[in-house]
């Protein structure tokens, strides 16, 4: 595939809807529509484990696009101006503090992972984060949510995941793909 052009169809506050044109290997023209983010480096998904209990931070978040609740990990956009490792780490850990109220440390990170490559240019990095439950800052976590965010924090041990997922599914709560990949397939 060789790109031959691109145009903006619509630009909103957070996203840009684009039409891209290509020529495939057979010489045929191809047109594709996709969504890109404005002012972001990548999206961070935080698989967060509390120590010593071994529980995971699972968020139940209202998602406007789906008009419903979705289970997932803490996540957020890493701004484009986070250009070095320290700035990226700060942005990632700030998401955990804002969404769940916990202070943690990054212990691992994935390579860039496209999640919905047929629709979006988003590249996710999955961050493995540990939270020290004995740290006084984590004794009474307090969320700092934006007006568009409604988030319920659940702390779930792996042995309780199946029952937790079943109870939430019975309530009509959807499960994010990352959460299902890590814990749902193990059932």
| Average of per-residue pLDDT across 6-17 | 95
Residues 96 and 115 occupy one common structural domain:
yes
How sure is the predictor about 187, in pLDDT bands with cuts at 50, 70 and 90? low
Residues 117 and 133 occupy one common structural domain:
yes
Q: What is the reported pLDDT for 42?
A: 86
Whether the full predicted model's pTM is greater than 0.75, yes or no, is: yes
Residues 66 and 105 occupy one common structural domain:
yes
Count the domains in the chain: 2
Residues 28 and 69 occupy one common structural domain:
no
Q: Which of 63, 2, 11 is nearest to 29 (CA)?
A: 2
> What is the phi/psi pair of residue 183, to 5°?
-115, -35
Q: What is the reported pLDDT for 110?
A: 94
Residues 82 and 161 occupy one common structural domain:
yes
Domain span at residue 29 reads 2-36
Q: Compute, in degrees rounded to 10, the torsion defined by CA atoms 32, 35, 38, 42.
A: -100
Residues 71 and 101 occupy one common structural domain:
yes
Q: Residues 145-186: pLDDT tens digits?
A: 999 999 999 999 999 999 999 999 999 999 998 899 888 776
CATH number assigned to the domain comprising residue 161:
3.90.79.10
């Amino acid at each position: 595939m060789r790109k031959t052009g691109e145009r903006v169809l619509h630009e909103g506050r957070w996203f840009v809807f684009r039409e891209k044109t290509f020529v495939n290997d057979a010489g045929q023209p191809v047109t594709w529509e996709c969504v890109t983010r404005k002012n972001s480096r990548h999206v961070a998904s935080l698989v967060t484990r509390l120590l010593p209990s071994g529980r995971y931070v699972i968020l139940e978040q209202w998602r406007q696009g789906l008009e419903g609740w979705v289970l997932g990990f803490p996540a957020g956009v890493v701004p484009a101006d986070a250009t070095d490792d320290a700035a990226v780490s700060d942005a990632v850990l700030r998401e955990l503090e804002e969404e769940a109220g916990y202070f943690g440390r990054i212990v691992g990170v994935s390579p860039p992972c496209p999640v919905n490559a047929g629709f979006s240019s988003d590249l996710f990095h999955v961050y493995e984060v540990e939270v020290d439950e004995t740290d006084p800052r984590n004794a009474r976590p307090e969320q700092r949510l934006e007006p568009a965010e409604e988030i319920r924090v659940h702390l779930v041990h792996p042995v309780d995941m199946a029952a937790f997922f079943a109870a939430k599914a019975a309530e009509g709560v959807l499960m994010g793909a990352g959460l299902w990949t890590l814990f749902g397939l193990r059932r």
